[in-house]
Amino acid sequence: MTTTETTLRLDVGPVTALQPVTLLAALGWFGAAALLSWWPDLTFQPLVRELSLTWAALGAVVGLFGLFGGRLGRAGAWTQLRGPWLFAIAVATVVWTVLTAKTGILPQPFFPTPQAMFEVFLYDWPKMLHSAWFSVLLLGQGFLWGAAAGFSIGIAMGWSRAFSYWSVPLLRYIGPLPATAWLPLAFFIFPTSGSASVFLIAFSTAFPVAVLTWSGVAAVNRDYYEIARTLGASPRFLILKVAIPAALPHVFVGLFMGLSTSFAVLVVAEMLGVEAGLGWYLQWAQGWAAYANMYGALFVMAAMCSGLITLLFRIRDRVLVWQKGVVRW
């Protein structure tokens, strides 16, 4: 039995052919579609029929998984594990529809209706996709530069006492400063807003990576070094084959922290000078009071950040595969 199967059995039990919670989620989506179609809106809303059909189709797909999940392998296991979430999202969608489009308890345009959000994703997806791609490129550059710099600094601090003596005070006083505090200086020093944004993202990433890498190298058992030296290991071998592998769990913690902080800096940096990106799109939507577009951008930001964190988890799983069974993930 694989680790994934074991975790699934511990959380929700064995995968069953009939999944009651998933079927309940399907009924929730059918109910949302019926509510949207049969309860008149307070004001005109676009794409009511199209959104209602989309929700009904989603309910049909979820219902098929609820009926035949046990025969669908990993997809059925996925729906069984996340059946309560599918149901909760359906209920939240119904509540959202009632509070906005049907009763107006949450006033427009500050709280857009599901139909308005559907219109944004249906017609404005090219601009949103371009902005998301630009943000991924900008974040990737800054994060990679910052991770490389922080990793190198952390290794040097953990290995060399002389380097640690001079760098630790600087890291303590400069590192905790928020990257956004360097905005005026960065935009003055760097020739373009894009390069300044890359520097700010790299700066916000480098500090947690450096600190956690330093901590990981410093925590390596000294007996490992002594044994390796007894066998004739060179200093380069000690760094590459002993210090770095032992410090990798700490390094990945620093990478997770750096990714979160760099994403916040990315949004701020894109609001202050670049010509594309999700931060720019968010500012554009606020300027035109297009609240549906603004919430759409926030949704894409959350999805992008979640996807990048998931990707980093997958990389960690591959690199630190030896930890499975020793450390609970």
Q: What is the mean pLDDT of the chain?
A: 85
Judge whether 295 and 112 are in contact, CB under 8 Å. Answer: yes
CATH number for region 125-323:
1.10.3720.10
pLDDT band, residue 114 (cuts 50/70/90): very high
pLDDT at 273: 66
Whole-angstrom CA distances from 68 to 64, 78, 239, 271 are: 6, 13, 53, 48
Question: What HEC string does 26-64 produce?
Answer: HHHHHHHHHHHHHCCCCCCCCCHHHHHHHHHHHHHHHHH
pLDDT at 5 exceeding the cut of 50: no
Distance CA 46, CA 181 (A): 43
Range in 86-100, 136-150, 233-247 the model is least confident about: 233-247
> Quick one: angle between helices 244-270 and 278-287, nearest 10?
30
pTM of the model: 0.80
pLDDT per position as a tens digit, 231-272: 887 888 888 888 888 888 889 999 999 998 888 888 888 877
Longest dimension (CA), the chain: 81
pLDDT band, residue 292 (cuts 50/70/90): very high
Q: Residues 192-203: what's their mean pLDDT? A: 86
Side chain identity at residue 128, one-letter code: M
Domains of the chain by residue range:
3-105, 125-323
pLDDT at 29: 94
Distance CA 57, CA 316 (A): 36
Distance CA 51, CA 61 (A): 15
pLDDT per position as a tens digit, 7-47: 444 344 555 667 888 899 999 999 999 999 999 988 888 89
Instruction: Specify which residues 324 forms β-bridges with.
Output: 327
Q: What is the CA radius of gyration of the chain?
A: 25
pLDDT band, residue 87 (cuts 50/70/90): very high
Whole-angstrom CA distances from 28 to 33, 59, 83, 87, 99 are: 9, 8, 12, 6, 17
Distance of alpha carbon 37 from the chain centroid:
34
pLDDT at 277 exceeding the cut of 90: no
